Amino acid sequence: MKKDNMLRKGIGFLLSNVLKKEPLLLVMVILCVLLTLASSILFVYIPSYAVAMIDGNSAVPFLTNLIWITIAYVSVSMICSGVQGGRGMRQLYIGRNLLYSLFLRRLNARYEYTESDTGQKAYEKARQVCLWGADIRQLLEGLMSLIVCVASFAIYASLLSRLAPWLILVMVGLSGLNYITLNGTQRANDRRMDEQAAEMRKYFYLINTFQNTKIGKDIRLYNMNDWLCTVMDKSLCRLRKIHNRFQTRILASRAVAISTALLRDGIAYSYLIYQACNHNITIGEFVLYFGMINQLTGFVSACIQSYGTLRLGCKGISAVSDYFTETEELAHDCQDSSALDSTSNVSIELRDVCFSYDGCHNVLDHIDLKIEAGEKVALVGTNGAGKTTLVKLLCGLYTPQSGQLLLNGQPAEEMTFSQRVERIGAVFQGCLILPYSIAENVSMKPYEETDILQVEDCLKRVGLYEAVCQFPSGLQTQMTRAVDEGGIELSGGQQQKLLMARMLYRRDASLWLLDEPTAALDALAESETYAFFHTLCGERTCIYISHRLASTRFLDRIILLDEGHIAEDGSHEELLRNQGKYAHLFEMQSKYYQEEENANEAS
Ligand code: ADP
């Protein structure tokens, strides 16, 4: 990213958020700049008044001015430190605010992006920035001190120009030269750090290798000591070379920077002394101009430092801004949407669908598949065949890279995500139970929005209602001990029943997707759970997923997925008769389960 682009993006993003969420912080930033400027000017004037009072004929007005100016300086400094304190707190709030917005963005972003490597890295980078707030502080402080530097330079330069305009030109010219050299030094140092970091990585790898007792065995057996020592010596030598090369450059540029600074200060102070000696300026003015020149000379290094701090802050904030831009483009819902017909069951059609996570290897490869409304289908295959990916595609969590997915004959991409998920009841591996009431865990909505009668009905249908009634708070009993020590933990079987109740609660869900919610159970328990789901599903279109073929053999249609292709499609009996991959897998698994059963019986 170009530097100026990064600066513009970082400053623009943070200030627009400050304006929207913490406008008082912006007022404080402006106040801080003005007060810092005022206190610096007052600080320059105080000694000149003091000297003028000692030197002058009538002490009274100078004394009055001195008292006023001192009171003003003390008041401004005190207000300034008060505002600085308040600013710190507001900076913290803006960090928390951004963290919350980031979290919301992630929740609403396309799942595909959130789950991807790029999405996770981008989120983590942005989260760190918002969580620690160091970049927010650096950006604001860098920006403020840069403004103060530039403004004080302009003020002092205009005041000094009354004495000698050419002096400003000399000072600006030499300061510019000083800036170029100091900047060169900083850049050289940055390059040295990069080169050094790469070499240090190799060096520390070697050190860790030597220290690792597990590897020590191999080092001794293969007599690798000499080899490793030579590699380490070479690495140290390269490190020394990098250091020496840059050290010379850094020393040279520092010498130039110091010489230009000396020359600049020498000319300015000599001229001032010359004017004072010739009585062209009073002692009070001498002290005043001396103070101004002193401030001006500190300007260059302060400017470079502020710019560096600002750049660092902008780098972090740009990461947050990038995440927001990226997720905005990947927002879920499309504009011209059509809803899924809520009166009928859902039919599914995949036309030549391909999907890949990395853009190279197709996890789903040219899939053609039709599932009629109300059909009950098993999707089976070994681990990694692409079953979960297909389910996530049906849910709308992923979008096919090519081909088309039709739901009830309508292209899925024309539907909004929310319209689509309203019609889908899906359960995945790992039972999501929240630390809220049982009723909320069934409805997956706040208690006030939950239809309690419907929850009771669903719990009765899955046979969990009586158990729930045993708890002292019934449906309002808190679940899990994650946040409440008194929360209840359901047994594995009860959790499965809760999941079924959750699916039943969604009355409009006419497509059920069961992606191995029973994977943690043994084969027999899974088989029984699937059979129970089957009794509940009624007219809905259902897709059962399992890698245990016995769990789904009772279904009319079984689709075997193999390395992203549909390898076989038919009833359990048909597929066994075909003597293909399904039959082979089924035989192997039956043997394994039989052996396991025998072993269990024996023990
Ligand atoms: P199954 O459900 O049949 O076990 P999956 O659909 O989970 O298979 O995975 C199919 C392939 O895609 C596997 O090779 C898996 O490693 C890969 N895969 C799954 N999820 C991701 C992901 N989020 N990022 C990258 N690759 C993935």
pLDDT in tens, 226-271: 888 888 899 899 989 988 888 887 788 778 878 887 888 889 889 9
State the pLDDT at residue 603: 60
Q: What is the mean pLDDT of the chain?
A: 85
Q: Considering only CA atoms, which residue is closest to atom 14 of ligand 1?
A: 384
Under the banding of pLDDT at 50, 70 and 90, the label for residue 334 is: very low
Q: Does the Cβ of 384 fall within 6 Å of ligand 1? A: yes
**Of 428, 588, 589, the residue nearest 523 (C-alpha):** 589
Q: Does the Cβ of 113 fall within 6 Å of ligand 1? A: no
- Is residue 58's pLDDT more than 60? no
Query: Do residues 390 and 312 touch, judged by C-beta distance below 8 A?
Result: no
Distance from residue 384's CA to the centre of ligand 1 (Å): 5
Question: Pairing mode, if any, of strands 424-427 and 511-515?
Answer: parallel
DSSP codes of every residue in 430-484: S----SSBHHHHHH-S-GGG--HHHHHHHHHHHT-HHHHHHSTTGGGPBB-SSS-
Query: Do residues 27 and 267 touch, judged by C-beta distance below 8 A?
Result: no
Residue 220 within a domain: yes
Residue 139 within a domain: yes
Q: Considering only CA atoms, which residue is closest to atom 21 of ligand 1?
A: 357
List CB contacts of 452: < 8 A, sequence separation 6 or more: 439, 475
Host H or E run for residue 403: strand 402-407
**Of 187, 192, 180, the residue nearest 256 (C-alpha):** 180
What amino acid is encoded at 587 in this protein?
A: E
Residue 550 burial (CB < 10 Å; 0-12/13-18/19+)? middle
CATH number at residue 120: 1.20.1560.10
323 alpha-carbon distance from chain centroid: 7
Q: Average pLDDT of 342-354?
A: 85
For residue 272, report the phi and psi dihedrals to the nearest 5 degrees: -65, -45
Distance from residue 402's CA to the centre of ligand 1 (Å): 18
The two structure tokens encoding residue 209: 């290798």
State the pLDDT at residue 355: 95
For residues 375 and 55, give the distance between their C-alpha atoms in angstroms, rounded to a whole number: 104
CB contact burial 304-324 (16+ within 10 A = b; e otherwise): bbbbebbbbbbbbbbbbbbbb
CA dihedral (244, 245, 247, 251) positive or negative: positive
**Of 325, 320, 321, 397, the residue nearest 124 (C-alpha):** 320
Q: Does the Cβ of 119 fall within 6 Å of ligand 1? A: no
For residues 81 and 31, give the distance between their C-alpha atoms in angstroms, rounded to a whole number: 11
pLDDT in tens, 168-197: 888 878 877 877 877 777 777 778 877 887
For residues 183 and 164, give the distance between their C-alpha atoms in angstroms, rounded to a whole number: 29
Regarding whether 53 and 110 lie in a shared domain, the answer is: yes
**Of 150, 34, 137, the residue nearest 91 (C-alpha):** 137
Regarding whether 208 and 148 lie in a shared domain, the answer is: yes
Q: Which of 330, 360, 392 is the last residue of a domain?
A: 330
- Whole-model pTM: value is 0.70
Phi-psi category of residue 72: left, alpha or beta, with phi > 0 → left and psi -120 to 50 → alpha? alpha
State the pLDDT at residue 343: 59
Q: Does the Cβ of 388 fall within 6 Å of ligand 1? A: yes
Question: What does each C-alpha distance from 257 to 251, 290, 303 come to in angstroms?
Answer: 10, 22, 15
* Mutational test site, ligand 1, from 388, 543, 544, max ligand atoms within 8 Å of CB: 388
Look up tokens 């860790």; give the residue.
208
* Mutational test site, ligand 1, from 112, 115, 355, 357, max ligand atoms within 8 Å of CB: 357
Residue 467 within a domain: no
Q: Considering only CA atoms, which residue is closest to atom 11 of ligand 1?
A: 384
Distance from residue 254's CA to the centre of ligand 1 (Å): 56
Question: What does each C-alpha distance from 344 to 227, 265, 404, 544 come to in angstroms?
Answer: 73, 86, 21, 20
Residue 478 within a domain: no
- Is residue 330's pLDDT more than 60? no
Residue 462 within a domain: no
**Of 559, 527, 533, 242, the residue nearest 391 (C-alpha):** 559
Residue 290 within a domain: yes
Please tell me the least confidently modeled range out of 166-170, 198-202, 322-326.
198-202
Q: What is the domain extent for residue 66?
A: 3-330
Q: Average pLDDT of 535-560?
A: 87
Q: Considering only CA atoms, which residue is closest to atom 19 of ligand 1?
A: 389
Nearest-atom number in ligand 1 for the CA of 115 is 23
Q: Which long-range contacts (CB under 8 A, 24 or more apart) does 365-372 make?
A: 365/563, 365/564, 365/565, 366/403, 366/565, 367/403, 367/564, 367/565, 367/566, 368/566, 369/559, 369/566, 371/347, 371/541, 371/543, 372/347, 372/541
pLDDT in tens, 509-521: 889 998 887 766 6
Q: Average pLDDT of 537-564?
A: 88
Query: For the packed helices 283-329 and 117-132, what is the interaxial angle rounded to 10 degrees?
Result: 150
**Of 420, 425, 418, the residue nearest 506 (C-alpha):** 425
Query: Do residues 13 and 321 touch, judged by C-beta distance below 8 A?
Result: yes
Q: Does the Cβ of 357 fall within 6 Å of ligand 1? A: yes
Question: Pairing mode, if any, of strands 348-356 and 362-371?
Answer: antiparallel
Q: Does the Cβ of 382 fall within 6 Å of ligand 1? A: no
Q: Considering only CA atoms, which residue is closest to atom 1 of ligand 1?
A: 384
211 alpha-carbon distance from chain centroid: 35
Distance from residue 424's CA to the centre of ligand 1 (Å): 21
State the pLDDT at residue 532: 81
The two structure tokens encoding residue 133: 């707030």
Distance from residue 70's CA to the centre of ligand 1 (Å): 72
Q: Does the Cβ of 386 fall within 6 Å of ligand 1? A: yes
Regarding whether 371 and 282 lie in a shared domain, the answer is: no
pLDDT in tens, 378-396: 999 888 999 999 999 998 8
Distance from residue 349's CA to the centre of ligand 1 (Å): 21
Residue 452 within a domain: no
Distance from residue 389's CA to the centre of ligand 1 (Å): 6
Q: Does the Cβ of 115 fall within 6 Å of ligand 1? A: yes
Distance from residue 579's CA to the centre of ligand 1 (Å): 27
* Mutational test site, ligand 1, from 355, 356, 389, 428, max ligand atoms within 8 Å of CB: 389
Q: Considering only CA atoms, which residue is closest to atom 15 of ligand 1?
A: 384
Regarding whether 360 and 297 lie in a shared domain, the answer is: no
Top-ranked range on mean pLDDT: pick from 191-200, 525-534, 552-561: 552-561
Q: Which of 330, 361, 390 is the last residue of a domain?
A: 330
Regarding whether 298 and 373 lie in a shared domain, the answer is: no
Q: Average pLDDT of 310-316?
A: 89
Distance from residue 391's CA to the centre of ligand 1 (Å): 11
Regarding whether 407 and 265 lie in a shared domain, the answer is: no
Nearest-atom number in ligand 1 for the CA of 391 is 6
- What is the tally of structural domains in the chain? 2
Regarding whether 504 and 537 lie in a shared domain, the answer is: yes
Distance from residue 382's CA to the centre of ligand 1 (Å): 11
Regarding whether 226 and 299 lie in a shared domain, the answer is: yes
Nearest-atom number in ligand 1 for the CA of 516 is 2
Question: Strands across the sheet with 348-356, in order?
Answer: 362-371, 348-356, 402-407, 410-411
pLDDT in tens, 433-470: 888 999 999 999 999 999 999 999 999 988 899 999 99
Q: Considering only CA atoms, which residue is closest to atom 17 of ligand 1?
A: 384
- Is residue 16's pLDDT more than 80? yes
Regarding whether 18 and 75 lie in a shared domain, the answer is: yes
Distance from residue 137's CA to the centre of ligand 1 (Å): 41
Q: Considering only CA atoms, which residue is closest to atom 6 of ligand 1?
A: 386
Host H or E run for residue 577: helix 572-578
- Cβ atoms within 10 Å, residue 517: 23
Q: Does the Cβ of 363 fall within 6 Å of ligand 1? A: yes
Nearest-atom number in ligand 1 for the CA of 117 is 24
- Is residue 342's pLDDT more than 80? no
Distance from residue 383's CA to the centre of ligand 1 (Å): 9
Please tell me the least confidently modeled range out of 202-216, 320-334, 542-556.
320-334
Nearest-atom number in ligand 1 for the CA of 561 is 3
Regarding whether 204 and 100 lie in a shared domain, the answer is: yes
CATH number at residue 394: 3.40.50.300
pLDDT in tens, 62-85: 678 778 888 998 999 999 999 988
List CB contacts of 29: < 8 A, sequence separation 6 or more: 18, 87, 140, 143, 144
List CB contacts of 112: < 8 A, sequence separation 6 or more: 330, 397, 398, 399
Regarding whether 356 and 240 lie in a shared domain, the answer is: no
Query: Do residues 319 and 118 touch, judged by C-beta distance below 8 A?
Result: no
Regarding whether 179 and 298 lie in a shared domain, the answer is: yes
Q: Does the Cβ of 383 fall within 6 Å of ligand 1? A: yes
pLDDT in tens, 137-148: 999 999 999 999
Q: Does the Cβ of 389 fall within 6 Å of ligand 1? A: yes
CA dihedral (104, 106, 111, 112) positive or negative: positive
**Of 52, 301, 273, 50, the residue nearest 163 (C-alpha):** 273
Question: Strands across the sheet with 557-562, in order?
Answer: 424-427, 511-515, 541-546, 376-380, 557-562, 565-570
Q: Average pLDDT of 333-350?
A: 68
What amino acid is encoded at 148 in this protein?
A: V
Residue 474 within a domain: no
